[in-house]
Amino acid sequence: MSRLKNAIRWLAYPGLDLHTRNRGSMRRFWKSGARDVLDAGSGNGYLAWLAYRSGATVVAMNHDAGEIAKARELLLGYRACDPARLAFEQRDLYDLAAETRRFDEIVCSEVLEHIRRDGEVVREFFRILRPGGYLHLCCPYRLHPRHQAEVLDEHESGGHVRAGYTHDEYRALLEPAGFVIDRFAGIGDAGVYQADRVLRGIRGRLGDLAALPLAPLALPFVWAARLDPPTPFSLYVRAVRPR
């Protein structure tokens, strides 16, 4: 039964959230081949799996024990990924000060908007990156209407503590830590946003099982999504630790 459950999960992986799937497009800005990658705030493990497939040795950190267990079961168990190259660890990013390993790349997607002390975390990213290493950061674009209308989480209890970042806010966050920004990209155009909104509405009313058969109809909106729309849903930035 467990194998059947994982087979069904894999058919829908990384899930019914089209924005999660669309953010995989940031991998075009990653390196490839053998390297050490940290996925900081790995969620269901999708970006860690993409980095693993590109040849990296990946450490995926997540504070949620349930998500870690599911990712291990699916990717290390069902998909038989090499545990020497893909590891899932239950860790809080505020604890990075104790981290002694070094990485060639850090991927941090849709995480910093949940964290009040984002500057503290970014300084630790800089410390544990090797010289010449890249930070790949993706967060909500603060000026998108959806994010501007959001009610924020004042207590850092799991929701967004800020509505996201703009280009200038990324600069103010990253450059004082020592990073040099060399690439911005808007991710999530209007087509992806509207398709996800419809799918999300069906899920809210009828549940995920009702929405699952409709997901293939929404995938073309992800495949056709263009970078840098006028008002992206998320904003990606690539920053380098200088040599």
Q: Cα(147)–Cα(167) distance, rounded to whole angstroms? A: 15
Torsion on CA atoms 64, 83, 58, 235, rounded to nearest 10: -50
- In this model, does residue 86 exceed pLDDT 70? yes
Side-by-side strand order, sheet with 180-187: 86-90, 57-62, 36-40, 103-109, 129-140, 234-240, 180-187
Instruction: Report the predicted TM-score, pTM, of the whole model to 2 decimal places.
Output: 0.95
Q: Cα(184)–Cα(14) distance, rounded to whole angstroms? A: 24
Please, how many CA atoms are within 13 Å of residue 117, restricted to the half-sphere of its CB? Answer: 10
Q: What is the CA radius of gyration of the chain?
A: 18
Number of H helices, E strands in the chain: 10, 7
Taking only the tens place, the pLDDT of each residue in 92-111 is: 999 999 999 999 999 999 99
Measure the N-to-C terminal CA separation of the chain; round to a whole number of Å.
51
Mean pLDDT of the chain: 95
| % of the chain exceeding 90 in pLDDT | 93
At the second CATH level, the architecture of 2-14+32-187+235-240 is: 3-Layer(aba) Sandwich (3.40)
3-state class (DSSP) for residue 86: strand
Neighbours of 95 (CB within 10 A): 11
Q: Which amino acid is at 125?
A: F
Q: What would the mean pLDDT of 3-7 be, rounded to a whole number?
A: 86
Taking only the tens place, the pLDDT of each residue in 129-188 is: 999 999 999 999 999 999 999 999 989 999 999 999 999 999 999 999 999 999 999 999
Q: Where are the domains of the chain?
A: 2-14+32-187+235-240
